[in-house]
């Protein structure tokens, strides 16, 4: 579509990459702006190892997308950059893009925008129960993914953990932190527990859960974890994680027994939830987008993610609601389609 301004895609995570990829394959020029110095969003940043439910390596899913956007002549990738301002009308928006390192800005004209600014993992330091950040060997599922990527899961002192506890719903479903459900953490935690059992077959793993929300076809992770890998489940909540000097004393309540437990573990993994990040906040302000009470970008109707309510601006991915990588990819594709439709109309 020669003659039309490119589509601005803000964020190069799964949703943004998917949108940029689809657009370029449809012959549309793309200006892909990513805040970090590498493409891939959260999976790249936290070095995700595999994706639930089938343990597909992340590289197999995101690799082709990254390759397409990098190789395609139609995609201009701007890493380490952010969008500072936005104005104009559909077909001819004027955006100012700034390179973070040099603070150099340039003004560009774009036809329409796909906002895919993604999420941030909940910072568990805010919830002091677990001692995250203060006590060694309390880590988040994001950090565990990175360790699994390296094929080596060790405690701070370098030894392998024998007893590991996963705590579900950290920074989710909680009025004092984040009241929503992050949908994927249950499945991801269980996936990780299975992967842990594979590399540390003598370990004893306990999943301390409130509910197990392995939806759809992810359910088999839950069943396999119990039936094939002997992973234990405790229905309950954790009140405090205390470091004895050698081990972690996890204090909680076993709901099914209606009684307190205090057990020693070598490592505690927190299923930290997803929350809107700084990028999403900035995008909302710059693009004039509505947000819901929690800071997620609010589409015109919650059931159709891409429709931001603002002409020419489309939403995709976890900046709208917590979701899995596959859902983000679909979201990006849907937003890309809206751009293609719009540009067809503009050309006519």
Partner 1 sequence: MRKTHEGDARVSEKEEKEKGRFIFERGYIDSERIIEPEKLELGGVDMSGRWGTLVLPRTIEQFDHTLFEEVKKLPGGKNIHRCWQCGNCTAVCPVAHAHPEFNPRYLIHITKMGYKTEIKKFKEYVYLCSGCGRCSVACPRDVDPKGVMSALSILFQRGV
Partner 2 sequence: MDERLEITKEDERLFERLASERRAKLAMGTVEDYLRMLQKMRELEQKGEITVHHVTEEYQPVNVTTLSGRLKKIPTVKLWQHKSCGQCGHIPGYVSSLYWIMSELNVPYIDDTNQTSCTAWNYYGSGTSNSVALTAVFLRNMHVAWEKRAYPLIHCGTSYGDYKECRFLLITNSEIRERVRAILKKIDRDIVVPEELVHYSEWLHVMRFEIAQRKKFDVSQVKVAVHAACHTYKLMAEDFTYDESVLGGVKPAPTSSIALALGAKLVEYSNWYDCCGFGFRHILTEREISRSFAYFRKIRPIVNETRADVLLTHDTGCVTTLDKSQVVPLAHGYKESIPVLSDSQFAALAMGAHPFLVCQLHWHVTDWSALLSKMGIDWQKAKEEYKAYLERVKKGEKPYLIKPPPFG
Residues that bind partner 1 (CB under 8 A): 204, 206, 212, 222-223, 226-227, 230, 232-235, 254, 256-257, 259-263
Beta-bridge mates of residue 163: 204
Q: Which helix (H) or strand (E) holds 180?
A: none
| 3 state SS of 323 | coil
Q: Residue 60 or 134: which CB sits closer to partner 2?
A: 134
Q: d(Cα 97, Cα 106) in Å, to the nearest integer? A: 5
State the nearest-atom distance from the C-beta of 154 to partner 2, in Å: 12
Q: Give the phi and the psi of residue 9 in degrees, each rounded to 5.
A: -110, 120
Q: d(Cα 319, Cα 298) in Å, to the nearest integer? A: 9
Residue 106 binding partner per list partner 2, partner 1, none, with a CB distance cut-off of 5 to 8 Å that depends on partner kind: none
State the nearest-atom distance from the C-beta of 265 to partner 2, in Å: 13
How is residue 329 annotated by DSSP? H
Say if residues 334 and 306 touch (Cβ distance below 8 Å): yes
Question: How many of the chain's residues bind partner 2 (CB under 8 A)?
Answer: 22
- Applying CB under 8 A, does 100 fall inside the site for partner 2? no
State the nearest-atom distance from the C-beta of 128 to partner 2, in Å: 5
Q: Residue 36 or 310: which CB sits closer to partner 2?
A: 36
What are the distances in angstroms from CA 35 to CA 26, 38, 79?
25, 8, 6
Q: Residue 47 or 237: which CB sits closer to partner 1?
A: 237
Cα 325 from chain centre: 7
By CB under 8 A, name the one of 5, 18, 68, 177 that touches partner 2: 177
Residue 244 binding partner per list partner 2, partner 1, none, with a CB distance cut-off of 5 to 8 Å that depends on partner kind: partner 2
Q: d(Cα 111, Cα 5) in Å, to the nearest integer? A: 5
What are the distances in angstroms from CA 143 to CA 32, 50, 73, 138, 272?
27, 13, 35, 10, 10
Q: Which of 332, 11, 51 is nearest to 190 (CA)?
A: 51
State the nearest-atom distance from the C-beta of 165 to partner 2, in Å: 16
Q: Residue 18 or 225: which CB sits closer to partner 1?
A: 225
Q: d(Cα 108, Cα 159) in Å, to the nearest integer? A: 52
Residue 133 binding partner per list partner 2, partner 1, none, with a CB distance cut-off of 5 to 8 Å that depends on partner kind: partner 2
**H helices within 151-236, ranges in order?**
185-199, 219-227
State the nearest-atom distance from the C-beta of 202 to partner 1, in Å: 13
Q: How many other C-beta atoms can be found within 10 angstroms of the C-beta atom of residue 165?
A: 26
Q: Which of 54, 59, 70, 55 is nearest to 20 (CA)?
A: 70
Q: Residue 99 or 254: which CB sits closer to partner 1?
A: 254
Q: Residue 63 or 128: which CB sits closer to partner 2?
A: 128
- Applying CB under 8 A, does 146 fall inside the site for partner 2? yes
State the nearest-atom distance from the C-beta of 216 to partner 2, in Å: 30
Residue 177 binding partner per list partner 2, partner 1, none, with a CB distance cut-off of 5 to 8 Å that depends on partner kind: partner 2
By CB under 8 A, name the one of 56, 217, 226, 249 that touches partner 2: 249
Say if residues 317 and 116 touch (Cβ distance below 8 Å): yes
- Applying CB under 8 A, does 347 fall inside the site for partner 2? no
**What is the contact surface with partner 2 in residues (CB under 8 A)?**
45-46, 123, 125-128, 133-134, 142-143, 146-147, 175-177, 240, 242, 244, 249, 251, 262
């Amino acid at each position: 579509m020669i003659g039309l301004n490119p589509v601005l895609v803000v964020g190069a995570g799964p949703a943004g990459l998917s949108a940029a990829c689809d657009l370029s394959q449809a012959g549309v020029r793309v200006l892909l702006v990513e805040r970090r110095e590498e493409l891939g969003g959260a999976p790249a940043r936290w070095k995700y190892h595999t994706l639930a439910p089938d343990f597909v390596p992340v590289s197999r899913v995101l690799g082709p997308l990254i390759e397409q956007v990098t190789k395609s002549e139609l995609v201009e990738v701007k890493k380490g950059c952010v969008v500072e301002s936005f104005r104009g009308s559909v077909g001819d928006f004027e955006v100012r893009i700034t390179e973070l390192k040099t603070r150099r800005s340039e003004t560009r004209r774009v036809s329409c925008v796909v906002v895919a600014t993604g999420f941030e993992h909940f910072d568990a330091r805010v919830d002091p129960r677990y001692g995250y950040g203060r006590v060694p060997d309390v880590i988040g599922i994001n950090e565990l993914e990175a360790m699994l990527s390296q094929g080596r899961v060790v405690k701070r002192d370098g030894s392998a953990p024998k007893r590991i506890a996963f705590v579900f719903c950290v920074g989710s479903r909680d009025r004092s932190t984040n009241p929503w459900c992050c949908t994927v953490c249950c499945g991801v935690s269980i996936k990780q527990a299975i992967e842990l059992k594979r590399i540390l077959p003598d370990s004893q793993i306990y999943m301390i859960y409130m509910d197990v929300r392995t939806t759809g076809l992810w359910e088999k992770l839950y069943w396999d974890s119990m039936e094939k890998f002997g992973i234990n489940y405790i229905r309950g909540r954790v009140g405090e994680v205390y470091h004895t000097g050698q081990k972690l004393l996890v204090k909680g309540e076993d709901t099914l027994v209606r009684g307190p437990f205090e057990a020693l573990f070598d490592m505690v993994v927190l299923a930290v939830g997803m929350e809107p990040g700084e990028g999403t906040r900035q995008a909302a302000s710059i693009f004039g987008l509505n947000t819901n009470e929690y800071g997620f970008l609010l589409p015109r109707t919650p059931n159709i993610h891409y429709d931001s309510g603002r002409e020419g601006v489309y939403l995709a991915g976890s900046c709208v609601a917590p979701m899995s990588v596959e859902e983000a990819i679909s979201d990006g594709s849907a937003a890309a389609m809206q751009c293609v439709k719009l540009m067809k109309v503009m050309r006519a």
